[in-house]
């Protein structure tokens, strides 16, 4: 299990929830796996109470199944929830693009382009393990929300899109499709050209790639998918 340092002023419950989310999205905690509050608490250096509370928090988003008298289980991937998550992202991310295109400064465009260059580097064999495509992808979209001055909206999305994010992780490992890097480059170009409609069309295509990957993921990882 991946353990990161606790943030300053982060409560034990918030820290436990963040670590669980990180490991669920990265598939370190696999869909269908039973988890022990005692073991999780020991790994995070916490008592059982904040871990139990964090599991209950995630259960509200249907990411964890709390089983009476048996413990907790990481939920299987439910494609109905994946689609709902994708829908929410599409609505919000296309909505902010008019503000992004209006407000983006040369420095903002440069930051987006640098992010895309780093994404391309993740595909180089000698860079394996030193850069995370998932983290760079998240950072690219976070930059867009920052430019639009909607960073709280981005943070709100975090709890709602775990289902979508797990499939993104699987797609990077199973489908190994680098088209998302080209998507980001084209979105960046559209923003630099103040082309709102073009940016929106590209964003919809980009976020819909999860639908195209479903068949391959189901074939490769049927044990992770809810029937």
| Beta-bridge mates of residue 34 | 73
**pTM of the predicted protein model:** 0.88
193 in any annotated domain: yes
Q: What is the pLDDT of residue 71?
A: 87
Whether residues 62 and 83 fall in one domain: no
Whether residues 181 and 145 fall in one domain: yes
Percent with pLDDT over 90 in the chain: 76
pLDDT tens for 2-58 read 998 889 889 999 999 999 999 999 999 999 999 999 999 999 999 999 999 999 999
**Residue that terminates a domain, selected from 23, 44, 74:** 74
Range 65-103 burial, b when 16+ CB lie within 10 A, else e: beeeeeebbbbebbbebbbbbbeebbebbbebbebbbee
Whether residues 66 and 169 fall in one domain: no
168 in any annotated domain: yes
151 in any annotated domain: yes
227: helix, strand or coil = coil
The boundaries of the domain holding residue 142 are 79-224
pLDDT tens for 100-132 read 999 999 999 999 999 999 999 988 877 666 578
Count up the domains in the chain and report the number.
Answer: 2
Q: What is the pLDDT of residue 127?
A: 63
């Amino acid at each position: 299990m991946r353990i990161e340092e606790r943030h300053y002023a982060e409560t034990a419950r918030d820290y436990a929830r963040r670590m669980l989310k990180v490991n669920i999205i990265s598939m370190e905690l696999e869909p269908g796996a039973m988890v022990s509050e005692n073991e999780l608490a020991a790994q995070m250096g916490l008592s059982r109470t904040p871990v139990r509370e964090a599991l209950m928090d995630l259960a509200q988003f249907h990411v964890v199944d709390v089983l009476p008298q048996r413990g907790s289980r990481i939920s299987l991937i439910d494609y109905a929830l994946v689609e709902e998550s994708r829908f929410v992202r599409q609505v919000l991310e296309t909505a902010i693009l008019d503000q992004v295109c209006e407000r983006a400064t040369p420095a903002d465009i440069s930051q987006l382009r640098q992010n895309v260059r780093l994404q391309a580097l993740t595909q180089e064999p000698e860079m394996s393990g030193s850069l995370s495509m998932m983290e760079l992808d998240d950072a690219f979209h976070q930059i867009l929300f920052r430019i639009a001055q909607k960073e709280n909206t981005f943070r709100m999305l975090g709890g709602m899109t775990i289902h979508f994010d797990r499939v993104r992780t699987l797609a990077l490992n199973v489908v190994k499709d680098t088209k998302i890097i080209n998507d980001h480059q084209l979105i960046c170009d559209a923003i630099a050209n103040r082309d709102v409609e073009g940016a929106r069309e590209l964003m919809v295509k980009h976020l819909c790639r999860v639908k195209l990957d479903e068949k391959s993921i189901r074939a490769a990882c049927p044990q992770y998918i809810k029937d």
